[in-house]
Chain A
Amino acid sequence: MTQLAQLHLDETRGITVATVEGEIDLSNATELEMAISHAVGNEAVGLALDLARVDYLDSSGVTLLFNLARRVARRQQRFAVVVPAEAHVAEILSLSGATEALALHETLDDAVRGLST
């Protein structure tokens, strides 16, 4: 099938960086959630999820964010999401109430800095 989204995983200063590119919907949200959550090691300080290059995200994508936040928190790790304010995704997140509940950052550097302090 058409690969809707691609996931790149990286690590800097004990922080797992997950970059998603493409679209997130019902067909791939659960899969992505599993892949990202497995990528976060126990020794990691936190998880930075970069959605800057996500063109489409629906409510299942929002659910993905909340679930990841919950999983990471349970392991005493920190969670940051990168979404530029002008991105379409930002609007969806704010309409879903994710803006208040999650730590949103403009850039990945901001997010990593926020997590390591």
Chain B
Amino acid sequence: MGNDGPRSRWQVARQLFVGGDDPYAGADLTSSRNATAVLVALHGLLVLILLPLFPPTEGAGEAVGWTLALACVALNLASSVWLFRMPEVRFGFMLAVAYIGIAELVMLQLLAQTVLPYQALFLIWVGAGAVQPTRRSLVLLAAIVAATLAPLVVGADVQPGDVVGLALLLAAIGLVLIAYVGYVRAQRLTLQGQERDARANAMAATKRVRDLQWITDAALPHAGVEELLEQLLSRILTVFDADDGAILLRAEGGSRFELRAMRGIEQDSDAEFHRTIANRFAGRLAFSRRPLTLTRDDASGLVRTLLKGSGLEALLGLPLTLGRELIGVLYIGTRTARRFSDDDAALLQLVGDRVALAVDRARRVEQEQHIAETLQRSLLPERLPSIPGMQVAVRYLPAGAGMEVGGDWFDMFELGDGSVVLAMGDVVGRGVRAAALMGKLRTSLEAYAFDGRSPAEVADRLHALMERQHRADMATMLYVAIAPDRAGAELASAGHMPLVIRAPDGTARLAGREPSPPLGALPFVRFDASRVEIEPGSTLILFTDGLVEVRGTSIEVRLEELRRAVELAPADPETLCDALLIAMLGQEETRDDVALLALSVAPLPPEGFSLELPAEPEALSSARKALDRWLMEAGMSRRDAHAIKVASGEACANAIEHAYRPGDAAFRIEASRRDAEVLITVRDFGGWREPRGSDRGRGLPLMKALMDSVRVDPSSEGTMVQLRRRVEEG
């Protein structure tokens, strides 16, 4: 690896002679042990054979010589046995044994004062050295040749020719062996290397596939685009071990890049940074359609400055494309000096393809969801009409996050004859299709109702409509028509949840418990209607199944729970709705859409009423209807009633015209009767204006002509008009 510091002389020596790297690391070392043991035993036996022929009696006396020689042999044999028992022996150990063997032979030469026979045994150790790494083998070989030549130097009584010849022979044999072993070993190492590389490549490929899958696992089926991008980016950074990153998407139909996800770099200041990088990159990336790397050294101008300022060293970026369309740019960066490799680029390319697909899919899902929500919202009534003597509250809870919109709907309107229609329904299915069908049903229902159809006829017609145009769909519906006298209602149910009626004394009951089948469910169905009595002061509650349906609990049980919750709740529609939602749904996120409508029907007291209406021309008819009903209930003659109605209408029209702005202003009409005199008071909260042109100029004279007295009191808070008329006793 070359990562070591300078080595001490001792380390170099050790490396050369015994220690250091083992070229056979990982090999089966028992063979090394056996070879060493055999060599040592062979050495000992050969010495034992040579000893009688060349006795060690010359150098140091007979006794000492024999003792030393036999000790050497004994040591050889003993260490051979000892070696056989060892579990394994490193090749370096064999080298050490070789040096000891050589030293032993040199000593025996001295003791025997003879050279040749013992020198022949050096051959054993030439072989032992040859299997060592070349450098060490050569050192051993040099030691053997030196030992062979030593007698010449010390001036022993030998034939120089023999010694030199033997040394040359040993050197030649040694070199041939070393070359041969080196060649074999090199071949093996090459093979091993190839194998290792192949394994490493296979592992890298596996890891890449795994990384890729892990990254794109983030493309959760229901995740929105923002969440998806955040997740993808964080996983990409983990896999590439990068510090910073960003995903920018092109604004739909535009060329600007919008920063959609960002990691790393201090968040506040750097949206601009990312955009600059992206734009800079995007041009090049869009052109090349390949991943590109950018290092601080390569960068120039502004980008270089930006990179420097942010502490980024290198960037790897790629275009996100869908077919031929460039949808965005993805890049990652590191703060440490690093070059992204071709492998990184290739993997990022694969990741990019998947990211582009995931983004596309998430966008489509989001788009559809958005369309469906918009559609649904635009199809539900923006505001329910304010009808005198009625208070209405409505709640609409879309299903939990990530769910498509459903087809729940409701409506409320007043018919020309003064009856009030409440309708609620649920189209089976979800998404744009359900929302569209729900809009169609609602519109058709209103049209049929205004055409004067009875509740059962409305249901029949809606069913026929489904049969004609939406054979595959199904919808439930509850239609409640409150009679003009408010004393009863007619209801038709097509497979819908029952109606809850809360009497003024607080008791609640369910009505419409035997519904006809849902619209579009069965052919040849005729819908029935039933009648219910409504005591003045009752509250009607309509809802969709989302309010009561809970997996694992029977619907009967839940309906009873709802009935009891209604009895416990206050009568006011707004607080009643809130109380029911809490009681029935708790804090849980709803799995299905929930629509809930509560309407209280108050009687109009004969002594008078008061009503606040929005300052819009459409409110005139509401005011008229309330007045009409009250005048009828109070038993006025038709002539009186008509005069009062027209005069009051003129006063109300003035009030509407006085309102500063349409929409957020209101006016109030109060009607009361004392003996034979009816008093109508109309107040607005705008400034009094002189009648404009001849148009509204007709209003005041008409009021004066129809009533006995007309009083207009303008003030800074608004204008009050009081109309009085003596009526015939009826």
Contacts and interface: CB of A to CB of B under 8 A. Distances in A.
Interface of A: 1-4, 22-23, 25-28, 56-60, 62-63, 66, 88, 91-92, 95-96
A27 B652 CA distance: 12
Contacts of A56: 624, 642, 645-646, 649
B617 interface: yes
A59 B621 contact: no
B414 A2 contact: yes
Contacts of A26: 617, 620, 653, 656
B160 interface: no
B450 A60 contact: no
A22 B649 CA distance: 15
B699 interface: yes
Contact of A63 (B617, B621, B698, B706): B698
Contact of B653 (A57, A58, A88): A58
Given A2-B413, A27-B618, A58 B650 contact: yes
B135 interface: no
B450 A95 contact: no
25 contacts: A2-B385, A2-B413, A2-B414, A2-B416, A22-B416, A25-B617, A25-B620, A26-B617, A26-B653, A27-B617, A28-B617, A56-B624, A58-B646, A58-B649, A59-B695, A59-B702, A62-B698, A63-B698, A88-B638, A91-B642, A92-B646, A92-B702, A95-B701, A95-B705, A96-B702
A59 B705 contact: no
Contact of B618 (A1, A23, A88, A91): A1
Nearest to B643: A91
Nearest to B624: A56
A22 B620 CA distance: 14
Interface of B: 385, 413-416, 450, 616-618, 620-621, 624, 638-639, 642-643, 645-646, 649-650, 653, 656, 694-696, 698-699, 701-702, 705-706
Nearest to A28: B617
A44 B616 CA distance: 36
Nearest to B450: A3
Contacts of A96: 698, 701-702
Contacts of B416: 2-3, 22
Nearest to B693: A63
A31 B618 CA distance: 13
A32 to B, nearest CB: 13
Contacts of A3: 416, 450
Contacts of B705: 95
B691 to A, nearest CB: 10
Q: Please report whether the interface of chain B is mostly helix, strand, loop or mixed according to DSSP.
A: helix
Contacts of A91: 642-643
Residue from the set A25, A27, A91 with the largest chain B CB neighbour count within 10 Å: A25
B620 A27 contact: yes
Nearest to B620: A25
A1 B616 CA distance: 12
Nearest to B642: A88
B656 to A, nearest CB: 7
A45 B585 CA distance: 68
Nearest to B705: A95
A2 B702 contact: no
Contacts of A27: 616-618, 620-621
Contacts of B696: 59
Given A56-B624, A59-B653, 15 more contacts: A2-B413, A4-B621, A22-B416, A23-B621, A23-B624, A25-B653, A26-B653, A56-B646, A58-B650, A59-B702, A60-B695, A63-B698, A91-B642, A95-B705, A96-B701
B431 to A, nearest CB: 29
A2 B638 CA distance: 24
A95 B653 contact: no
Contact of A2 (B621, B643, B698): B621
A25 B649 contact: yes
B638 to A, nearest CB: 8
Contacts of B450: 2-3
A58 B705 CA distance: 13
A63 B705 CA distance: 17
A4 B706 CA distance: 23
Given A2-B414, A95-B705, A59 B617 contact: no
Contacts of A4: 621
A27 to B, nearest CB: 3
Contacts of B638: 88
A58 to B, nearest CB: 5
A107 B624 CA distance: 28
Nearest to B697: A59
Given A2-B416, A88-B642, A59 B650 contact: yes
Shortest 8 CB-CB contacts between residues of A and residues of B: A27-B617, A59-B698, A95-B705, A26-B617, A88-B642, A59-B699, A26-B653, A63-B695
A23 B653 CA distance: 14
Among A3, A4, A59, A88, residue most surrounded by chain B Cβ atoms (within 10 Å): A59
